[in-house]
Amino acid sequence: MKKNEEILKKKRKGSGKPEHELDMSLLTPEQQEFLKREEKIDRINERMNRPVIGITYICAFLFVGLISYILHFMIVEKDQVISNAANTRLDRYAANVIRGDIMTSDGKKIATNRNGSRYYPYGKLFAHVAGYSDYSKAGIELVGNYYLLESHANPFERMVHTLREEKNMGDTVISTLNYELQEAAYDAMSGADGAVVAMEPDTGKILAMVSKPDFDPNDIDEVWKEANTNPDSSMLLNRASQGLYPPGSTFKLLTTLSFMRQKPFGFMTYSYDCEKKEEIFNGVSVHCYGRKTHGEEDLSLALANSCNQAYADIGTKLNVRKWRETMEEFLFNKSLPYTDASAVSRFLLDAKSDKGYIPQTAFGQGDTLISPLHNAMITATIANGGLMMKPYLIDSVENYKGSRIRKFSPSSYDTLMTSKEVEILTSYMRRVVTEGTAAPYFSGAEYEAAGKTGTAEYENGAHDYSWFVGFASLEQPEIVVSVIVEQSDVNGVKASAVARRIFDTYYSLEGH
């Protein structure tokens, strides 16, 4: 009896045939009929269940996918997502955590707390790049906000604090900035407005970032009031990443590159005779800086002399559509792969544009605008053999006792140049420094630098922007500098001189 029950149960569960068949011979024909019918229905049922089981597996697969995705999000993407400046939830953490410190890579504390409020020991020196955290947030205070408000103090200590309803000490953000370089850049810019970016070409680490006019973040109350009442005040703007300037002659590097790409055989034999003070290209009159004439030049010498006429001539030989494509590859009209706020550089020329814009655009005037950071990135790409690295400001995070919590590694954006192109551009840039426009500023340097100067006129030629982009050393590029000085005709500060001072400081640092 018991056994039969088990057999029947097994049958109901549909788990295959029962081990022992019922003794059919003892049943009446109707009873046998009944059992046979039941068995048949079971078989049909099993067949009907096949699609059900199949689709159930698909659904299970979808749910597993969903759960794995959420876990992936939490493990891999979460930190980057929630450290986004638009995440206002972070401010809530401030209720339980004392905001951590910000340090330079050489151990100087550049933001900390004093008497319950934020304190910046070096005041104006790190104004824009360290940023501020009251009213609004900017700089490292913004991009590192998440880490500054996280506490990795020891768990027991944290538990005690939580139970006592006391705040925990936030983590320390170690920036990529170097105090000495920042100071050198800041001092070299004294008396001038403009911006400086120094970075490592092979990692993208930003070593120094200066923007002027500046402000003292310790007086953020007054600064904020001033910035919001005076519409002309732009001191809160970080010109290094958010300022847009005409690239002037530094743009000739990219024009040269486009020319090399479009005329792979022609550029080697290119020559231009700069004999007149003025020449007409596409109906527009072009003259060189200071109305100089340069005589017969090949491409390399034209770049070293920064000859506007030769570049206007090159511009007329370029296919505008392809030229624009190359510029967009180099991140014009695109946002930069950078965590802090940055401006989008622009290159407006296209196949439909008036031909009259071409000559000016070729030598960096016209409608083209670029941020100093972007120009540094382009130069770094040349210095790094064609591979563009993403610039970054935070090197690592430590808990307040100094144990490392996380380390940020360099990440690349894309390979934008071939090694051949890099080689040629580097040799041209070297010539700029040895015998061209930058030569007077680099005599007697203990290292070999390469670069490009630029002078861009603005306000209808009333004032000059002075540019320098370049790197050192030639053999082993370790540092890239991008400098813009506003009104250099008035304040007398030359971008090349600022760059020289930064390079000198870099090579005087320990380890060099």
Which C-beta is closer to other proteins: that of 72 or that of 404? 72
Rounded-to-integer distance, Cα 213 and Cα 206, Å = 20
- Cα 9 to Cα 15, 46, 57, distances in angstroms: 9, 16, 26
The residue within the footprint of other proteins, chosen from 19, 21, 29, 63 (CB under 8 A), is 63
Give the rounded distance of the alpha carbon of 465 from its chain centre: 24
For other proteins, the binding residue among 6, 17, 33, 38 (CB under 8 A) is 38
* Residue 333 touching other proteins (CB under 8 A): no
Is the CB of 12 or the CB of 114 nearer to other proteins?
12
Among 20, 36, 65, 418, binds other proteins (CB under 8 A): 65
Answer for which of 19, 52, 265, 443 binds other proteins (CB under 8 A) is 52
Nearer residue to other proteins within complex by CB, 71 or 268:
71
**What is the DSSP secondary-structure string of 213-261?**
S---GGGHHHHHHHHHH-TT--TTS-HHHH--B--GGGGHHHHHHHHHH
For helices 372-383 and 419-434, what crossing angle results, to 10°?
A: 110
Closer Cβ to other proteins, 8 or 405, answer by number? 8
- Cβ proximity of 487 and 464 under 8 Å: yes
What mask of x and - would describe binding to other proteins in positions 77 to 106, judged by CB under 8 A?
A: xx--xx-x-xxxxx-x--------------
Total residues belonging to the chain: 512
How far is C-alpha 75 from the geometric centre of its chain's CA atoms?
Answer: 23
Question: Which range, of 51-59, 299-307, 441-449, 462-470, touches other proteins by CB under 8 A?
Answer: 51-59
Are the C-beta atoms of 481 and 210 separated by less than 8 Å? no
Task: Give 340's DSSP letter.
Answer: S
Q: Assess 351 for contact with other proteins (CB under 8 A).
A: no
Q: Which whole-number Å values give the CA distances from 245 to 262, 494, 506, in the listed order?
A: 27, 16, 26
In angstroms, what is the minimal distance from the CB of 415 to other proteins? 23
| 235 burial level (CB within 10 Å; 0-12, 13-18, 19+) | middle
Pick from 20, 36, 60, 316: which binds other proteins (CB under 8 A)? 60
Shortest spacing between CB 132 and other proteins, in angstroms: 21
Among 16, 19, 21, 23, binds other proteins (CB under 8 A): 23
Binding site for other proteins (CB under 8 A): 1, 4-5, 8, 12, 22-23, 26-27, 31, 34-35, 38, 41-42, 44-45, 47-56, 59-60, 62-63, 65-67, 69-71, 73-74, 77-78, 81-82, 84, 86-90, 92, 162-163, 165
